[in-house]
Amino acid sequence: MTRPMIEVEVTVRGMTCDSCRRYVEESLRGVPGVDSVQVANWQDGRALVVAHRNVSGKDLVQAVEKAGYSAEILDRRTIEKAEPAARRHDYDLVIVGGGSAAFAAALRASELGAHAVIINDGLPIGGTCVNVGCVPSKTLIRAAEELHRASHPRFHGVRAAAGVSDPAALFEQKRELVNELREKKYVDIVSGDSNVTLLEGHGRVTGQHTVEVNGRGISARRILVATGASPFVPDIPGMAESGYLTNETAYELNEIPEKLIVLGGRYIALETAQMFARLGSRVTVLQRSERILPNESEELTEALAGYLRKEGIEIRTGVQIESVAREEKTVRVKARINGISETIEGSHVFVATGRRGNASGLGLEEVGVAVGSDGYLPVDEFLRTSSSSIFGAGDVIGSPMFVYTAAYEGALAAENALAGDRMSARDYAALPWVIFTDPQVAGVGLDEKQAREKGIDVDASVLPMDLLPRALAAFDTRGFIKLVRNTATDRLVGARVLAPEGGELLMELSLAIRYEITVSDLAARFHPYLTLSEAVKLAAIGFTRDVKTLSCCAG
């Protein structure tokens, strides 16, 4: 069944950010008779409105103007619109998984006037980030950092006095925050939204438009798989019997492990290793590769390893684990380390040897959707799987695996799934990322090696933190900032930071890459004296001058 409607293309002027886009959409949606509105992005300056035939162009222009922008009708045509999908299907969008990607997708679908259902099982609602990832880890990391600073004062005449007096209380405080954020940022956000339904149960895809949950079939115009990823635990003899921790259990301990053996040397392993070491554990990191963070440059990872070792963390690389065995409270990890057999003893083992996508066993293969052997779900640039009605978003589709990219993909997948043939491709240009060790490791764009592999002629400027007034005043000069520029255009192509709170520097650099700002321009901008951001200015100046010869305030 179809009904005659109008499709109106409106040019909108004055939008400068994503909030403007939402504001314009909301204003247009508020016009009586409007069925759906889509403003793909604010840069485009275009809104597509589907409305009943009695809606006039003037109504739409006035709504945009009332919101503070100007508008003009570009095109108006009559279309035959299918009867609302909910009449043919139970929902417009069924989302399997209930993490950040799923919530962003459901909210975007609702904004588009569609009905979505989120089906979650396994982790509590909210998924990895709020329950067993970002929030608990960063809360405990912050606590450990405060403790470390208080017990290692850098200033003369300041007495060190800090320790963990009540580990259970610390874990409980973290738990309360997790519970609060889960309610406020997930459950409450959709509970007042009549377009979004939350269901608890294991979702299984049974057809191109159908999902089964709790023995009940649900049909939808489109399916979104947003089931996330899980810790990958290698098949090592004795591991399962000996017991081990992962990110799903380690932040739930009510005690500080006496001696923690960390398997892995990437971000989850290193953040957790340093956090427990600072809270009082003796920690050994066992990493298979020759370096921790093997994808980053040697100068960066060697410097980080040095800082971690200085805090007492033992870091072993070139490790091949052979077996794990437990005898009462002692766990023994047998390994070949650079060819020599050794046994490392501890009280607990924390496994952070990678993640696996949660796309296997969902029924996807049975309905003809390809799934990778590592459990990840292949999708195209529009986040479509090999089926045109089934989309994927978040950790389940693989790298990049951050909560902000999961949310971005969720919203984009919902738009693309519901938009018919007007789909937008995903765009990760100038994607910033942070590893929350101390000093933090942060990056955006390309490192020198990556740029040269892409055939870009680049040079780099490295500013050691002992040339930064902020770091000198803090008596904490760990790390450096490196800017990489295209030598032909002077434009920034990437940056790497190793510095306390270094992640805070990234957004200036990300915007510089995105909006093609030259390094000379960055060097010429005011950066307040004694801020961390001065590092950007000094590193930019470093392309043409020796920063050591400058007077105060880069003069």
Ligand X SMILES: Cc1cc2nc3c(=O)[nH]c(=O)nc-3n(C[C@H](O)[C@H](O)[C@H](O)COP(=O)(O)OP(=O)(O)OC[C@H]3O[C@@H](n4cnc5c(N)ncnc54)[C@H](O)[C@@H]3O)c2cc1C
Nearer Cβ to ligand X (64/102): 102
Residues 427 and 513: their CA atoms lie apart, in Å, by 14
Residue 139 exposed, middle or buried by CB count within 10 Å (0-12, 13-18, 19+): buried
Residue 186 binds ligand X (CB under 6 A): no
120 binds ligand X (CB under 6 A): yes
Return the number of the residue (136 or 464) whose C-beta is nearest ligand X: 136
133 touches ligand X (CB under 6 A): yes
Q: Per CB under 6 A, does 227 bind ligand X? A: yes
Nearer to ligand X, 127 or 264 (CB): 127
Residue 15 bears catalytic tag: yes
552 is catalytic: yes
403 touching ligand X, by CB under 6 A: yes
In the three-class reduction of DSSP (H, G, I as helix; E, B as strand; rest coil), residue 106 is classed as helix
Does the annotation mark 408 as catalytic? no
Question: Which of 224-232, 479-487, 488-496, 515-523 is the region at the interface with ligand X (rule: CB under 6 A)?
Answer: 224-232
CA 292, 178, 18, 417 torsion-angle sign: positive
Binding to ligand X by residue 375, rule CB under 6 A?
no
Full DSSP string of 504-532:
GGHHHHHHHHHTT-BHHHHHHS---TTST
345-364: contacts with ligand X (CB under 6 A):
358, 362
Q: Does 203 bind ligand X (CB under 6 A)?
A: yes
Q: State in angstroms the smallest separation of the CB of 401 from ligand X.
A: 5
Q: In the complex, what is the shortest distance from the CB of residue 376 to ligand X, in angstroms, rounded to a whole number?
A: 11
Among candidates 385, 365, 425, which has minimal Cα distance to 40?
425
Strands (E), 368-467: 390-392, 433-435, 440-445, 458-464
CA dist., res. 92 & res. 82, Å (int): 12
Backbone angles phi, psi at 48, to 5 degrees: -115, 120
What are the angstrom distances between the C-alpha of 51 and each of 27, 406, 418, 433?
14, 31, 16, 41
Rounded to whole angstroms, the Cα distance separating 267 from 229 reads: 16
Closer Cβ to ligand X, 130 or 471, answer by number: 130
User: Which region, judged by CB under 6 A, interacts with ligand X, from 97-105, 147-155, 460-468, 517-525?
Assistant: 97-105
Q: Residue 436 and residue 368: Cα distance in Å, rounded? A: 40
Residue 287 as a binder of ligand X (CB under 6 A): the answer is: no
Reply yes or no on whether 267 is catalytic. no
Active site residue 91: no
CB of 90 to ligand X, least distance (A): 17
Burial class of residue 342 in the structure, from the number of CB atoms within 10 Å of its CB (0-12 exposed, 13-18 middle, 19+ buried):
middle
Closest separation in Å from C-beta 101 to ligand X: 3
CB of 211 to ligand X, least distance (A): 9
Q: How far is the CB of 249 from ligand X (least distance, A)?
A: 11
3 bridge partner residues? 81
Mode of pairing for the β-strands spanning 91-96 and 116-120: parallel
553 as an active site residue: the answer is yes
Q: Which residues bind ligand X (CB under 6 A)?
A: 96-102, 119-123, 127-129, 133-134, 137-138, 202-203, 226-228, 247, 268, 358, 362, 394-396, 401-404, 406
Question: Which positions are annotated as active-site residues?
Answer: 15, 17, 20, 69, 129, 134, 552-553
